[in-house]
Amino acid sequence: MAIIVPVYNGGEKFRASLDSIRRAIPPPDELIVVGDGDTDGSSQYAEAAGISVHRFPAPGGPGRARNLGASRAQSSILFFVDADVTVPGNVIRQVKELFAQQSEVSAIIGSYDDQPTAPNFLSQYRNLLHHYVHQNGREEASTFWGACGAIRRDVFLTMGGFDETYIKPSIEDIELGYRLKKAGHIIRLCKSLQVTHWKRWTLVSMVQADFFQRALPWTQLIHRNRGFVNDLNIDVSGRASVLLTFGLLGALLLSPWQPLLLVAAAVMGLILFILNVRLYRFFLEKRGLRFVAQAIPWHWFYFVYSGAAFAAGTLCYLVDRDRGLERPASLLPPKSLRSGSQVEKRS
C-alpha cells in the first residue's frame, strides 16, 4: 500500500500527520509526499525524515499533487491522506483487510473522528458536523473523499485520476467519486475508519470553503450529472432544510406587514428543528446544552448560504450551457499521471 500526502505549507499539523503515519503498525509499503509549491519547509521536513518527496514549484491544487504521487507509486492500493489529519496506529492493517475481504470494492473512504483538536467553537462544530454526516451516510457511498480515501491503483489510473482543473482544495474528490459510480465501481464508506482533523476553522475560512470551494462547483457537478444523490450533505432532509430556512426568513421579513406570517415562521422553524433533531441530540451528547444552543443558529446559517450557493451555481451552469461552455459530465480530466518535467524529485 502507498500512502500519498499532498501538502502546501502544512506546518506543525503536517508534521503530526507524518509522524502518525510513520508510527502505524504495520508501516505502509510506500510513503510519498508531494509538495504543492510549499514555502514553509514542509517538503524539507519530509525529506529529512527519509520520505520520498516530489515537489511542484508553484501551487496547483491537491488533485494535481495526488495524481503525481499516484504516478510514482508502485503499490496496488493508493491511500490518500490529507496533511492536516492524523491516523490511528492500525490504519494500514484496517484498509488492507477491507480490500482483501471485499474484492468487489474499488475504493474505501473513512471520516473524521469526534475528537477535533482545535478548541474554538467553529472548529468543534464544523468537524463534529462532518463526523455526524459521514457516520450517518450510506455504506455504499456516492462519492470519494481525499482526506482519508483509498482506491485500487488500476481503477484510479483507468479513471484518469483527480480533475486537475480544481487548482485549490475543492470538490476534486467528489468529482472523482461521481465518475467512479457512473462507471459502475463500488465505493465503501467504512465508518470505523476514522482520522483526527487538526484544522482550525474561522467564520471566513468556513464560509469561503463551503460557498466558493464546495457548494458552487458541486452544484454545477450535480447539474452536469443530471440529478441529486440522496446521501451525505445533499440528502432529502438537507434539501428540505434549505427550503424551510428560506421560507422562515421570508416569513419573518414580511411579518411586519402580515403578522400571521409569524405563525408560519414558527411552524417552519419547528419542522426544521425536528428534521435535524438527531444531529442536535448528537451535539448534546458530545458537547452539552450550551454547545447545542450555539450550534443551531450556525447550522441554520449553513442552510442559508448553501441555498444561496446552489442558486448561484445553477445560474452559472445555465449561462455556461447557453454559451456552449458546459463541460460534458463524461469528460475525463487532464492527467498529472505523467513524467512531470516540472517536478523536483527529493528522496
Structural domains of the chain in order of their starting residue, each with its CATH number: 2-200 (3.90.550.10), 232-322 (no CATH)
The yes-or-no verdict on residue 18 having pLDDT over 80 is yes
CA distance linking residue 98 with residue 129, whole number of Å: 26
Kindly list the strands in the beta sheet with 148-152, ordered across the sheet, starting from the edge strand earlier in the chain.
85-86, 186-197, 105-112, 148-152, 77-81, 2-7, 30-36, 52-56, 344-346
Contact of 107 with 180, CB cutoff 8 Å:
yes
Q: Look up cell 467512479; give the residue.
A: 180
CA distance linking residue 221 with residue 215, whole number of Å: 10
204 phi/psi in degrees, rounded to 5? -65, -50
The yes-or-no verdict on residue 237 having pLDDT over 90 is no
Task: Identify which has the larger pLDDT, 48 or 333.
Answer: 48
Percent share of the chain, pLDDT over 70: 90
The yes-or-no verdict on residue 297 having pLDDT over 70 is yes
Predicted pLDDT of residue 342: 58
- The predicted model scores a pTM of 0.90
Tell me the pLDDT tens digit for each residue of 146-166: 999 999 999 999 999 999 999
Round the average pLDDT of the chain to a whole number and report it.
Answer: 89
